[in-house]
Structure 1
Amino acid sequence: MSEAIHAGNAPKAVGLYPHARRVGRMLYLSGIGPRDARNNSIPGNVHDDDGRLIGYDIVKQCHSVFANVRAVLEASGAGWDDLVDVTVYLTDMAADFRHYNAVWAEYFPDAEKAPCRTTLGITALPTPIAIELKCLAVLPEGK
């Protein structure tokens, strides 16, 4: 049996799926992007006068995606220390990995306590974002 979790402080999913699903003490988060939960904007995106995306700030998107992951974890009764595995999707590995890696170190300064991580370079995500995280957590006993 599993429980769907919808986090009120995270942006709405772009499809028909929950933010996370709990199975026993395991917590599986859906892909989480950097969209702002208040207005669905994408922090750091730059558009021309015609509304076309012409650039983005990966550091702003990284901080926003971490805030969204935190919101889903908290809505699930979990926290940073409960993360055990993170898959990172970057649309421009060559340009963005070092910036992402620096932001990661702000949130997880101790490699011994950090979750496992895999980073993949991909060609696109479903919305005009440059990063998405897929996370797995183990909830504390009794939660």
Structure 2
Amino acid sequence: MSIHNSDKAPEPVGLYPHARQVGDLLFLSGVGPRQRGSKEIPGVQLDGDGRIASYDIEAQCRSVFDNVRMILEASGSSWDKLVDVTVFLTNMKDDFKIYNRIYAEYFRDNQPCRTTVEINSLPTPIAIELKCIATI
């Protein structure tokens, strides 16, 4: 087993790697839309207490997909080698349609298995996070 980290993807918010390779499989830790070295989150406006005041799910989707791509490439894999994607949304009712449209743009050529679930919140003020498995 080997651990992989990207110097381009956002730093993990806890003690875990970006990815871990086991044989020819690569397991990514949860990936959100944050950007490396910045406290700002694409598409998110926070209020004075650090809670989400408004957000743009399209901007977050594009950012999280880009972060996944960076981690895959830093780990010796690639977008077309994704085999399973679990998506966590904090607002399925309002965001699913937009997320699903953007997902279709990014995954037109490669269609991994996908599960999408709604959750109450994520550990940082984001509206989407991906958990992925790829081959190497």
TM tier, shorter chain? over 0.9
Sequence identity percentage: 59
Structure 2 counterpart SS, 1:41: coil
- 1:47 corresponds to: 46
2:90–2:128 CA contact under 8 A, matched in 1: yes
Deviations 1:14-45 (A, max 9, x none): 00000000011100000000001141321011
Matched, 1:117 2:99: no
Counterparts of 1:50-65 in structure 2 under 5 Å?
51-65=50-64
Deviations 1:81-138 (A, max 9, x none): 100000000000000000100110110124xx31110000000000000000000001
Deviations 1:46-87 (A, max 9, x none): 134665421100000000000100010000111111000000
Query: Structure 2: which 5+ runs fail to align?
Result: none
- 2:13 corresponds to: 14
Counterparts of 1:1-143 in structure 2 under 5 Å?
2-48=1-47, 51-110=50-109, 113-139=110-136
Q: How many residues align?
A: 136
Query: Structure 1: which 5+ runs fail to align?
Result: none
**TM-score, normalising length: structure 1:** 0.91
CA distance in structure 2 between the partners assigned to 1:13 and 1:24 by the alignment: 23
User: Rg: which structure is higher?
Assistant: 1
**TM-score, normalising length: structure 2:** 0.95
Question: Once superposed, which parts of structure 1, at least 4 consecutive aligned residues long, lie more than 2 Å away?
Answer: 47-53
